[in-house]
Structure 1
């Protein structure tokens, strides 16, 4: 009787898991399949469930419409540069907040956390005016620099840095290591899982960032993928084959980036649960 109950329980659990997987993966699969079909076939009844032979034509059309290769380069350059710099800044700030004693440390950190509650849209006009005054309008710098000190990244790194034994840092100082050497050779090496978790968040934020690039970039040659894809939706006609391919190209880098760092991701997130 127990074996039958256990078997029935497993069947129910795995059935719910299978349904969840289908619901989660279904839209992505339909998007990938739609990228290989012309616009007129995507919404056929019954729906297309197998890949077509229109992928190259959709890419050529997308290249002619948007200059897709340049846009992919823009997005990759902006997202990767932002991720590297912002991860380094988050790690340095988190290390300072966790391991250094200075006047007003907790108050400054509290004020930093308060900035998370400020709606992003509120900062658009001041940031835009600042970029205009610096003559950075329609440049990579204007997209990358404003959000480098990412509050959530600093918070996550600070929580992880608290798990580093003070004795390890003190031993390095006694051996004559400077603060920069300690940070780059000991702290960063120890915090690889946390760095991976923060890097994933930062990459996803910048890769999917739409509002700020839309405001600050006024040339189609400088557009990122989200901004460029929004221009495909016109008043008269929408080529869903191009749109599906563009969405696929926009989704794949995030998946690849996550798969590369997935082993460190969970441990890095759990590291942020260390109690003070």
Structure 2
């Protein structure tokens, strides 16, 4: 019995170590001097913060960081609002072509992002969106996955609850904001995390649509540390990556309890 109890914890500890090791190595490398980068010591012999000072002072890292924050926040808010609204409409309203519309939205999930790059770029060029914030933003303002996720959760809201609100005189937007949204907070939290992560880590599209160095996002800016601008200085790459992880950790810490609550409630239902 003791072995059966210990074994799952042992496997979880091993899995956690394997998953955390790249992160630990990244942080360790960011604290090493350039001459010590390829040493196999996990704990730096002579830890230094010089790499962080160099990244911040000798590049546009702060500007890239702010650009990524702006883009990730705007797209996340847009995805949460519009995907939740569309999911609510499809789940709770009957209209001609509802199922066809939902199938068309789902079909967008089958199209690889790489196939959309050329149409996006042609549209951006024609409308003058290249090398602008809007050019980076517009492909991620709504997602088919978000609509699907929110529709599935919206269907669980009892119709009697919504009808009772209508009888009390509430309009549809008030019902949406005051009745529907509080019922699906766990799903909204999960959608917000997924959206923030994908837009924070987006690389290919910002790399193509942006030309000015001042408009680069953080992943695009970090890629130039491994090009001719920084001659593949791995200590700077690891330092920038370490800083870039901080917002992701904060977002997860703030929203994880809602996801856990949602999983618990779903299991009870």
Tell me the TM-score normalized by structure 2.
Answer: 0.93
Once the two structures are TM-superposed, the CA of residue 227 in structure 1 deviates from its matched residue by: 0.5
**SS in structure 2 opposite 1:137?**
coil
Q: Deviations over 1:213-249 (max 9, x none)?
A: 0111111110011111111112683211111111111
Q: Distance in 2 between matches of 1:108 and 1:272?
A: 27
C-alpha change, 1:84 and 1:268, in structure 2 (3 Å) is farther
Once the two structures are TM-superposed, the CA of residue 172 in structure 1 deviates from its matched residue by: 0.8
Is this contact kept in 2: 1:194–1:265, CA < 8 A? yes
Q: Deviations over 1:104-127 (max 9, x none)?
A: 101110111111010111111111
Q: Distance in 2 between matches of 1:79 and 1:259?
A: 17
C-alpha change, 1:99 and 1:176, in structure 2 (3 Å) is same
Q: For 1:54-203, what aligned pairs fall within 5 Å after superposition?
A: 54-55=48-49, 57-203=50-196
Q: Distance in 2 between matches of 1:96 and 1:164?
A: 13
| Structure 2 unaligned regions, length at least 5 | none
Greater shift in the superposed pair: 227-236 or 242-251 = 227-236
Once the two structures are TM-superposed, the CA of residue 268 in structure 1 deviates from its matched residue by: 4.2
Q: For 1:29-44, what aligned pairs fall within 5 Å after superposition?
A: 29-44=24-39
Is this contact kept in 1: 2:64–2:217, CA < 8 A? yes
Tell me the TM-score normalized by structure 1.
Answer: 0.91
How large is the RMSD of aligned CA atoms in angstroms? 2.0
Structure 1 equivalent of residue 250 of structure 2? 256
Q: Deviations over 1:163-207 (max 9, x none)?
A: 111111111111111111111111112221111010001001100
Once the two structures are TM-superposed, the CA of residue 59 in structure 1 deviates from its matched residue by: 2.0
Q: Distance in 2 between matches of 1:88 and 1:233?
A: 37
Alignment coverage as a number of residue pairs: 267
**SS in structure 2 opposite 1:232?**
helix
Structure 2 equivalent of residue 206 of structure 1? 199
C-alpha change, 1:81 and 1:107, in structure 2 (3 Å) is same
Greater shift in the superposed pair: 60-69 or 135-144 = 60-69
Is this contact kept in 1: 2:29–2:239, CA < 8 A? yes
Q: Out of 228, 231, 237, which is 1:237 matched to?
A: 231
User: Which runs of at least 4 in structure 1 moved beyond 4 Å after TM superposition?
Assistant: 267-273
